[in-house]
Amino acid sequence: MTATPIHIQLNNLTPSVTEKWSTFVNKHPNNTLFQSPAWFQFYQSVENYEPFVFIAYHEDNIVAVMLAVLIRESKGLMGYFSSRAIVYGGSLIAEDYPNKKQLLDQLLSKLVETISSKTIFIQFRNFFEWSKEEKDIFDRHGFVFRERINLLVDTSDEKKMLAGISKSKQRQIKTGFKNGTQVRSPESLEEVRIFFKLLVDLYKNKVRKPLPNWSFFEQFYQRSLLNELGIIRLVVLKNKIIGGVLAAVTPGRNIYELYIVGLDQQYKKNYPSIIATWTLMEYALQNNLQHFDFMGLGKPDEPYQVREFKTKFGKNIVNYGRFGRKSNSLLYLVAELGYNFLRALKKV
């Protein structure tokens, strides 16, 4: 199988290639929506997002896929200083390919060669465990491994799932619904905009991290209406939106909590954030998904304000970590100082 050399193509997509890519990802044991053609097309539609998909072939067969996205907060010089390239849940390399490490080495070489001049840093957000030998390959390409923990709730069995939810959270879920809290899909784009505005306020005043612009939410909603990408659910009280959640879905596998908000202080007896979280777990059960992925609990050795809240819903904590590579250490430092200054001013 290895006599013929590997060749890697970048963004060379035809209907035939896209179909082969989709089939490859769907059959892979680490299948995730974030490495799929549908997510690539979504990235293409979002303002200031630029996707790059590297597809490795042995003869005419796809043996690996790596989808990265270059994100900027704006255009021009400021856009460069806010730029980062992220790979979610990749690379995916064929299980039966005999020279996986060599192929990973080639993929990383191609990624760094293509993207490093366009961004301040490159990051892999891992959804599975890499071996020590594979981590060494990342290291040789300038990537540093950082520990990051995450919570995966098993949603394949209702009894097991419910057993992992604390008694206090179960009571709050019941109380919230008893007090009139409802959950439903958005009935219009304007309702999605209201949800977005709640997130903008949360991220500006509390989370203090970049939030995707409006086009991310608009495009996600439009595709969700076609049963693509995932779901948006709103938490409602007497027709007033008091919370919501946006989640990506890998059919047959996982649901991923991407953005969640709840007006918990204003509606203390309705528990909007708790109801929004429960909604995704219930959706996973009803749609035969294996896990609910909280998408992060922070660094294991540092405080993380929402970790205590999240771990009331399960105890299966994993530490797949992240790989990060600075394209230019000096420019990275300048960008980091500028970002921290803007955070102090509540500009981001």
Strand 254-262 relative to strand 240-250, pairing: antiparallel
Alpha helices in the chain (DSSP H): 15-27, 37-45, 76-81, 100-115, 132-140, 158-163, 167-178, 189-202, 214-224, 272-286, 307-310, 329-344
Q: What is the pLDDT of residues 149-177, one digit of tens each?
A: 999 999 999 999 999 999 999 999 999 99
Q: What is the pTM of this model?
A: 0.92
Q: What is the pLDDT of residues 234-278, one digit of tens each?
A: 999 999 999 999 999 999 999 999 999 999 999 999 999 999 999
Distances (CA, A) of 278 to 88, 231, 295: 24, 14, 15
Quote the longest CA-to-CA distance of the chain: 67
Q: DSSP string of 268-325?
A: TTT-HHHHHHHHHHHHHHHTT-SEEE----B-TTS--TTHHHHTTS---EE---EEEE
What residue segments make up the domains of the chain, in order of their start? 6-148+321-344, 151-318
Task: Report how far apart the first and last C-alpha atoms of the chain are (Å, whole number).
Answer: 50
- 6-148+321-344 matches 151-318 in fold: yes
Q: What is the pLDDT of residues 94-133, one digit of tens each?
A: 999 999 999 999 999 999 999 999 999 999 999 999 999 9
Whether 261 and 274 have beta carbons less than 8 Å apart is answered as no
Whether 283 and 161 have beta carbons less than 8 Å apart is answered as no
**Rounded distance between C-alpha atoms, residue 28 and residue 94, angstroms:** 7
Q: What integer is the mean pLDDT of 297-315? A: 90
CATH number of 151-318: 3.40.630.30
303 φ/ψ sector (left φ>0, alpha ψ -120 to 50, else beta): beta
Assigned token pair, 3: 């006599």
- Overall size of the chain counted in residues: 348
167 contact partners, CB below 8 Å, separation of at least 6: none
**pLDDT (0 to 100) of residue 343:** 47
**pLDDT (0 to 100) of residue 332:** 60
Q: DSSP string of 139-152?
A: HHTT-EEE--BEEE
Whether 161 and 281 have beta carbons less than 8 Å apart is answered as yes
CA within 13 Å, CB half, 83: 27
Q: What integer is the mean pLDDT of 67-75? A: 88
Is the pLDDT reported for residue 297 higher than 60? Answer: yes
Considering the domain 6-148+321-344, what is its CATH architecture? Answer: 3-Layer(aba) Sandwich (3.40)
